[in-house]
Structure 1
Amino acid sequence: MSLVLKLRSERAELNTQLQELAKLEAGGTNLSAEQLTQFTELETQITALSAKISRAEIAERAAAAAAVPVDEGAAGIASPPAGRVEGPYGKPAAGAGMAQMVRLLAQAQGNQMYAAELAKQGGFDQGVQMALSTVTPGAGGVLVPENFSTEVIESLRPKSIVRKMGTRSLPLNNGNLTMPRISGNTAVTYIGTEEDIPVTGMTFADTQLSGKKAAALVPISNDLIRNAGVNPRVDQLVANDLFTSMGLSEDLHFIRSDGGSGKLPKGLRYWALPGNVIDAPATPTLAQIDLFLGGMMLRVEAANGDMAGCGWLMAPRTLRWLQSLRDGNGNKAYPEIETGYLKGYPVGLSNQIPTTLGAGGNESEIYFANFADMMIGEDMDLVIDFSKEASYKDAGGNVVSAFQRDQTLVRVIAKHDFGPRHVEVIVVATKVTWGAGM
């Protein structure tokens, strides 16, 4: 750490203590003699540090002026500047600002002022510098600016299969969103001359979404953070880890969460009407499979669903089994699977759809739905926090110490909810054992 940064950090800590005393007095509390003495001492120390900082800055500028320029950006030799992680067509990669903010705050262990100084010295984009300089830290972490959080939400689309299938994203107003839906259509009839027009009308119901707190933990190697100055792809790695973790968490809840106790979003499985949850045939012939899949589609068509927005969700095991099916001539039964479609509709694969359901522990599920009718209510506030000492559980349920692994644990907290405008356009096939022996 440079001398200037160290002195500024010390001054910031002293200023925090000074402001606490000032707030007491402003709130009507008379400062004690000891507190008045402390206030005077803090003021003197801050003044002395300010003078030291000025001299140190002069020394650093003189050293910089005497230095020999080197063609090296903050992201490494002959690489783009640290504030410009390049995406397609030379544009900054989506989510790069958020990733840089996370990396700098992790490097500064949550010290916002130090992170802002690192961004300034590293030549980061002005947006990143401003974000770190102006956001307000809270008890739960640092609030991500809305322009960065919007980028994150858009970048989640290819990571979350539910979003990728075309689910609409809508903002939550004060954490809530109520969407009216037509539950009964107007009856249109023809009438003769001088006959009264029958009184008819639509019937309505509401879909109500409210912000549910979702938290994702992302361990980042401290070696990666230390080497950030010479690795131009560090920010993209951080962004990918963040978006993948958040996307998997969303899919887990948007597909199969039961919405228990109102704390969790309710997923497709539990939004579906009981009559639209049907058991798959256990050992079907090709004709029975085709008839069953067509029956799932028919249920959405019978509900007047917009078939243009429909698609399938299933576990990879199920799709690979369907892909292996052959007709009597040895031809692939569903050749379009190679292009990502099944019976004319796109297929989304997710390991968040389990293959261990049922008494035998070998059942899965298939979903067919109109995803254009699905909604994700988004609270645009994202909060991030950091720790080098915390522990977490890995995919195998083992407790891992971030300190022992030399990692920094990043916690991302978001609020959102999931629901359909029309529950009739969700069909779920259960007890799917297809491919269990693969």
Structure 2
Amino acid sequence: MSGFTQRIQELERTRADRIVSMETLHEKAAMEGRSLDSREQLGFDSLASEVEGIDAELATLRRQQTMSGLSAKGIHVPGGPNPQNPTARGVSNTKSNLPKGTAFARYAMALAAGRGNLHQSLEYAKTAYSSTSPEVVNVIKAAVSAGTTSDPIWAAPLVEYQNMAQEFIDLLRPATIIGRIDGFRRVPFNIRIPRQTAGASVGWVGENKPKPVSRLGFDAITLPWAKVAGIVAITEELARFSSPSAEQLVRDDLVETIGTFIDEQFIDPTVVANPAANSPASITNGAHSAASTGATLAAVDSDLTGMISYMASQGLTLTGLYWVMNPRTKISLANLRNTNEEVAYPSIEANGTLKGFPIVDSASVPITEGATEADPDTTFIALVCPREILLADDGQVTLDASREASLQMSDDGTGTLVSLWQQNLVGIRAERFIYWQSRRAQCVTLLTGVTY
């Protein structure tokens, strides 16, 4: 076993132990009908910090493992075939040289080619991908065949599906705002999480004078199961007679469909929570805001400094903050010049930072048209403290396909129904479980009415 693999396994076991300890604290408090006490809260925070540190080290180790080529070695399933034997059945011991996300896209294409019938999808995958993407055949075969988790020939492909889905997630992350921000407080789904709502009071006390007495205030929040789902419709001809360019088309369309929706829901201030769909409000909904005072350097600099000062006034440590803005705004700030015609913020071009904090630019940050043609279009800039945002993320994308359904071919679900069967179309549905919620309302501040 390689040093990388051994260390990763040790960290994963340690992480699992810490998660169990965190859940035990919550379960004990829940059974007693109370929130965590101060000692338990300190223990929970300590465990959470340790998990965050482990996650960071795991990410580094896995990146090093991939770069060194160690991840090309097979995974041995207990009781199953030896991965060192290249002729053994089960988990493949070769690393695909295909572009990231291609295997997952081929899985989607095989589902589409089978028109929702797994047996047809399997036959198509055997014909099209058995030599170049055998993991696609194994995954579909696992879905078709009955078996148990102790059966290595049935269970091994589940590992390959995890790898394919993770590959797609790795491709999706850089395309989303969430994926480009580090430091979220990651929590499991459906776990009660205490939140402090009131702090202690202290003050100067003279000799023989009473000391101030206060009471900490807590409530508890739970991040429910919630999923993002999207459907991509392609023709049967594209599914059955696809070339590598068509595979890339499906892959890119899935990435764009899921990524754009998640970004809009995450950052658009007009997005409110919908209990019926278990969907969260955006992190900017109801957030503190201040109006832009202008597009001159003096006004812009004063506004940006004011946003940072607001964060500091709320007791937030000024480390790990992120700017989120529309690309139009980033370009304008990068080209803003002082009275000497020098670039005012050279760090934007140099390393993508503004006043020391990274910039995440996304077209999902909306631009609002002016009320009249004479009025400028406006947008906003957000300053975000990710460690005060709770994020529950399953980290996987699941796929299904059908040609028998009728779809409303519009983003808002109000379009005319189109029969997939009549139009020779196949619908590919992608789903991802994810939910977020601000731990503190002050973790986001907005600069609204931005015209640049």
Return the TM-score normalized by structure 1. Answer: 0.64
Cα distance in 1, alignment partners of residues 321 and 203 from structure 2:
30
Q: Determine helix, strand or coil for the equivalent of 1:269.
A: coil
Q: Closer, same or farther in 2 for the Cα pair 1:136/1:350, shift >3 Å?
A: farther
Paired amino acid for 1:130: N
After TM superposition, list the pairs within 5 Å mapping 1:116-195 onto structure 2: 116-121=122-127, 122-123=129-130, 125-135=133-143, 148-166=164-182, 168=184, 170=186, 172-173=188-189, 176-184=190-198
Unaligned segments of structure 1, at least 5 residues: 1-82, 138-142
Q: How big is each residue's C-alpha offset from its partner over 1:210-243, in whole Å with a ceiling of 9 and x where there is no partner?
A: 2234221223354443333xx3454444222212
Structure ranking higher on relative contact order (CA contacts 8 Å, 6+ apart): 1
Q: Closer, same or farther in 2 for the Cα pair 1:345/1:356, shift >3 Å?
A: same
Contact 2:383 2:444 in 1 (8 A): yes
Indicate yes or no: 2:424 matched with 1:409: no
Indicate yes or no: 2:379 matched with 1:364: yes
Indicate yes or no: 2:446 matched with 1:428: yes
Offset, 1:149: 4.1
Offset, 1:299: 1.4
Q: Closer, same or farther in 2 for the Cα pair 1:348/1:403, shift >3 Å?
A: farther
Q: How big is each residue's C-alpha offset from its partner over 1:297-334, in whole Å with a ceiling of 9 and x where there is no partner?
A: 11112223243321111112222222332211111222
Cα distance in 2, alignment partners of residues 167 and 385 from structure 1:
35
Cα distance in 2, alignment partners of residues 341 and 104 from structure 1:
43
Match of 1:270 in 2: 285
Match of 1:46 in 2: none
Contact 2:233 2:428 in 1 (8 A): yes
Offset, 1:411: 2.0
Offset, 1:208: 2.6
Q: 2:333 aligns with which of 322, 325, 330?
A: 322
Match of 1:299 in 2: 310
Cα distance in 1, alignment partners of residues 335 and 321 from structure 2:
24
Q: Closer, same or farther in 2 for the Cα pair 1:351/1:167, shift >3 Å?
A: farther
Paired amino acid for 2:141: S
RMSD of aligned alpha carbons: 4.0
Cα distance in 2, alignment partners of residues 319 and 233 from structure 1:
32
* Percent identity for Structure 1 against Structure 2: 25
Cα distance in 2, alignment partners of residues 313 and 299 from structure 1:
16
Contact 2:113 2:124 in 1 (8 A): no
Cα distance in 1, alignment partners of residues 263 and 352 from structure 2:
19
Q: 1:107 aligns with which of 102, 113, 116?
A: 113
Q: Determine helix, strand or coil for the equivalent of 1:415.
A: strand
Tell which deviates more after alignment, 393-402 or 154-163: 393-402
After TM superposition, list the pairs within 5 Å mapping 1:214-253 onto structure 2: 214-228=228-242, 231-232=243-244, 234-253=246-265
Offset, 1:133: 2.4
Offset, 1:186: 5.7
Match of 1:95 in 2: 101
Paired amino acid for 1:159: A
Match of 1:331 in 2: 342
Cα distance in 1, alignment partners of residues 249 and 107 from structure 2:
13
Match of 2:393 in 1: 378
When Rg is computed on C-alpha atoms for both structures, the one with the higher figure is: 1
Contact 2:230 2:431 in 1 (8 A): yes
Q: Determine helix, strand or coil for the equivalent of 1:129.
A: helix
Paired amino acid for 1:413: E
After TM superposition, list the pairs within 5 Å mapping 1:11-90 onto structure 2: none
Offset, 1:426: 0.6
Q: Determine helix, strand or coil for the equivalent of 1:135.
A: helix
User: What count of residue pairs does the alignment treat as equivalent?
Assistant: 336
Q: How big is each residue's C-alpha offset from its partner over 1:320-358, in whole Å with a ceiling of 9 and x where there is no partner?
A: 222332211111222222232222211112222221266
Q: How big is each residue's C-alpha offset from its partner over 1:116-173, in whole Å with a ceiling of 9 and x where there is no partner?
A: 2333343164543332123379xxxxx9955544444443211112321226384644
Paired amino acid for 1:131: V
Paired amino acid for 1:132: I
Unaligned segments of structure 2, at least 5 residues: 1-90, 146-157
Paired amino acid for 2:439: R
Paired amino acid for 1:415: F
Tell which deviates more after alignment, 336-345 or 359-368: 359-368
Match of 2:219 in 1: 205
Q: Closer, same or farther in 2 for the Cα pair 1:190/1:157, shift >3 Å?
A: farther
Cα distance in 1, alignment partners of residues 422 and 251 from structure 2:
24
Q: Determine helix, strand or coil for the equivalent of 1:270.
A: coil
